[in-house]
Amino acid sequence: MDNPSQHAASMIDPTLLARVVKGDQQAFSQLYDHSSTLLFTLAVRILGNHEEAAELLQDVYLEVWRKVSRYDVGRGTPVAWLVTLTKSRAIDRLRARASRGYRGTNSLEAGTAVQVADPGPSPFEMQADQELRIAVGAAVAGLPQAQQQAIELAYYEGLSHAEIAERLNQPLGTVKTRIKLGMSKLRDGLQQWWNHGELQ
Amino acid sequence: MTHDELEESVPLYAAGALDRIERQALEAHLLSGCASCHNALKDYQSVAALLPLSLSPTKPPRSLKATIMAGRNPAPIPAEAVPNEPARPSLEPGEWMNHLFPPVAPARSLSLPWALGLATLLIVSLGVYFAWNVSTQRSIDTSNIKQLEASLQEKSAKLADVRREVGDQAKALAELRNEIQQRTKEAAEAKEQLAQREAELEETRVQLIEAELEETRVRLSQRGSARTVGTPQDELATLLRIPNVKAVSLAGSDMAKRAAGFLLYDSRTQNVWLYSLNLPESPAGTTYQLWAIHDKPMSIGTFQMDTGETAHLLVKKVPSFTKAKTFAVSLEPSGGRPQPTGPMYLLSRS
């Protein structure tokens, strides 16, 4: 643990995942340490409760370990792959829950509550993550409220633009435009991070 | 759908806002090899993957890691050994991703025989790899189990030692407790004996004093009825050594300011001793009378004060007067009276 960025989620080395694929237990343990806080945060935001988020993380990591889902360098950074995988599984759960007629505590309020209950920097949140976190936070906060809301409804609640339009009682075109503009602003605001090779 | 429309849907795709049909349309377009859409998607997907970083981090429960680490068994199964995953979840990046970035998945462009041959080779090599992997894993597991067993045995032995030690200590403690009880009992007995001895001693002392008193009395009677100051002093000195003697002092009244006295009552012998000093001579036809007053006066006895006499000792047996709190001496006609009639000469100090 001599390298301060070893636990940074944003700095997960693709070779670590390669070792996990080979069944390296230590690499798997490291992968967990690097990424679990970020993935758990995401799962809690989507599912709205800690128990289900923990269950989901268990599924995701075991899926990685058992190579049901495999990382491919071509698909982007390891963390992007893990985030996509977690988000996708969480949204699946959310939809399964909705089809069972259960409406859990998941809502923007739940997300807000998570944001308010700031546990402070975790030991796994190293400087590289902190800087990126600040940059992403600033980029998201810099969006107009309507754009931010539309993106969050799609991203964290898995709603399609048509569903968002219905939820917000806005014309479909307006919602699409908000998402496009918002995503475009975020890309412009964060482009420096991958241009600098931080995330490659 | 035009290309512009498709390109416009890329950020929506990355945010997860497309419905299924739109998603499939874009994926088909990407599979066709549109470079500009590829690049746009890559950027937007990078953005999308960063979004969770804007949330305040929530740490997973501590136990989760252990649960996951424990849940990895059975040993890892290579992806290829798993049959095609049924119904891939909708939001999983589509198959098109394999085409996006070389060098992955060239298989689609190959002809079927080639593909079959390659697949067979792949399966065989994977089988070998898998077997090797499993056997390695198994040997690791076996050695792990052995280590665990060894450490378990060690721990059990330690536990047994600790138990034995605890047992010994408990025994020692019980012995100690018994001993303490024994000592406590002995101490209580000794105390009892001591109290008994003290009582005996007290008894002996009283007997001794009584013997002395008796002796004095005998000597007194031998000397006849001559009343001198010297002999009663001996008696008084003896009497004062009896521990439960009640003493009351009396003071002279206005009739005899110089007079004084004190009264002793020995509850064992029921004797009252009045020692009076400087009472005036009792005139002929009169006598001094001692009263014990409780509710009403009770006569204890009478005595004379002859000419030149300054001190007088009166000894009387009185069965029950312990309740009396006040004593008085009055001058009465000869023979005394049932109730005091004359002037008071001595009064106990209250």
CA angle B102, B103, B108 (to 5 degrees): 85
What is the tally of helices (H) and strands (E) in chain B? 7, 8
Q: What is the ipTM of this complex?
A: 0.83
Q: Is residue B140 part of a domain?
A: no
Q: Do B59 and A37 touch (CB under 8 A)?
A: yes
Average pLDDT (A21-33) is 88
| pLDDT tens, residue by residue, B10-23 | 999 999 999 989 99
pLDDT at position A74 over 90: no
pLDDT at position A119 over 60: no
Q: Is residue A167 part of a domain?
A: yes
Q: Is residue A159 part of a domain?
A: yes
Contacts of A187 in chain B (CB under 8 A): 11, 43-44, 46-47
Q: Is residue A126 part of a domain?
A: no
Q: Is residue B269 part of a domain?
A: yes
Both A19 and A89 in one domain: the answer is yes
Contacts of B19 in chain A (CB under 8 A): 160-162
Chain A (33-62) residues lying within 8 Å, Cβ to Cβ, of chain B: 33, 36-42, 44-45, 50, 53-54, 57-58, 61-62
Chain B (167-186) residues lying within 8 Å, Cβ to Cβ, of chain A: none
For A183, the closest chain B residue by CA position comes to B11
Residue found under tokens 């100090």: B349
Give the model's pLDDT for residue B293. Answer: 84
Give the model's pLDDT for residue B292. Answer: 86
| pLDDT tens, residue by residue, A147-183 | 999 999 999 999 999 999 999 999 999 999 999 999 9
Give the model's pLDDT for residue A164. Answer: 94
Q: Is residue B133 part of a domain?
A: no
Residue-range definition of the domain harbouring residue A186: 142-200
Chain A (99-128) residues lying within 8 Å, Cβ to Cβ, of chain B: 111, 114-119, 121-122, 124-125
Residue-range definition of the domain harbouring residue B25: 1-52+86-104
How far apart (Å, rounded) are the C-alpha atoms in residues B325 and B191?
Answer: 37
User: Is B52 near chain A, with CB under 8 Å?
Assistant: yes
CA angle B29, B33, B34 (to 5 degrees): 70
| pLDDT tens, residue by residue, B272-312 | 888 888 888 888 889 999 988 877 888 888 888 887 777 77
Higher pLDDT residue, B269 or B322? Answer: B269
Both A164 and A71 in one domain: the answer is no
Average pLDDT (B104-111) is 44
Give the model's pLDDT for residue A126. Answer: 60
Both A99 and A164 in one domain: the answer is no
User: Is B101 near chain A, with CB under 8 Å?
Assistant: yes
Chain B (70-89) residues lying within 8 Å, Cβ to Cβ, of chain A: 71-72, 75-79, 82, 85, 89
Q: Is residue A134 part of a domain?
A: no
On average, the pLDDT of chain B sits at 79
Give the model's pLDDT for residue B270. Answer: 78
Instruction: Find the CATH number of the domain harbouring B344.
Output: 2.60.40
Contacts of B56 in chain A (CB under 8 A): 41, 114-119
Both A161 and A96 in one domain: the answer is no
Contacts of A39 in chain B (CB under 8 A): 52
Q: What is the dihedral of CA B214, B218, B224, B229, to 10 degrees?
A: -50
Q: Is residue B163 part of a domain?
A: no
Give me the helix-helix angle, A50-65 and A14-21, nearest 10°.
Answer: 70
Q: Is residue A23 part of a domain?
A: yes
Q: Is residue A131 part of a domain?
A: no
Q: Give the phi and the psi of residue B311 in degrees, each rounded to 5.
A: -125, 150
User: Is A184 near chain B, with CB under 8 Å?
Assistant: yes
State the smallest CA–CA distance between residue A35 and chain B in angstroms: 10
What lies within 8 Å, CB to CB, of B176 at 6+ separation is none
Separation in Å, CA B7 to CA A188, B102, B276: 17, 22, 138
Both A113 and A154 in one domain: the answer is no
Average pLDDT (A124-132) is 68
| pLDDT tens, residue by residue, B158-177 | 888 889 999 999 999 999 99
Find out whether B308 and B316 touch, Cβ atoms under 8 Å. Answer: no
Both A33 and A112 in one domain: the answer is yes
Give the model's pLDDT for residue A39. Answer: 94
Q: Do B64 and A58 touch (CB under 8 A)?
A: yes
How far apart (Å, rounded) are the C-alpha atoms in residues B226 and B218?
Answer: 13
Both A24 and A112 in one domain: the answer is yes
Domain total in chain A = 2
Which of the four pLDDT bands, split at 50, 70 and 90, describes residue A50?
very high
Percent of chain B with pLDDT over 70: 82
Q: Do B11 and A179 touch (CB under 8 A)?
A: yes
Give the model's pLDDT for residue B105. Answer: 37
Instruction: Find the CATH number of the domain harbouring A179.
Output: 1.10.10.10
Q: Is residue B73 part of a domain?
A: no
Q: Is residue B272 part of a domain?
A: yes
Residue found under tokens 């636990």: A7
Domain total in chain B = 2
Q: Of the candidates A59, A84, A117, which is a domain's last residue? A: A117
Instruction: Find the CATH number of the domain harbouring A42.
Output: 1.10.1740.10
Both A90 and A150 in one domain: the answer is no
Higher pLDDT residue, B219 or B283? Answer: B283
Q: Do B58 and A117 touch (CB under 8 A)?
A: yes
Q: Give the phi and the psi of residue B181 in degrees, each rounded to 5.
A: -60, -45
Q: Is residue A35 part of a domain?
A: yes
Residue found under tokens 């059990």: B156
Q: Is residue B142 part of a domain?
A: no
pLDDT at position A85 over 50: yes
Q: Is residue B330 part of a domain?
A: yes
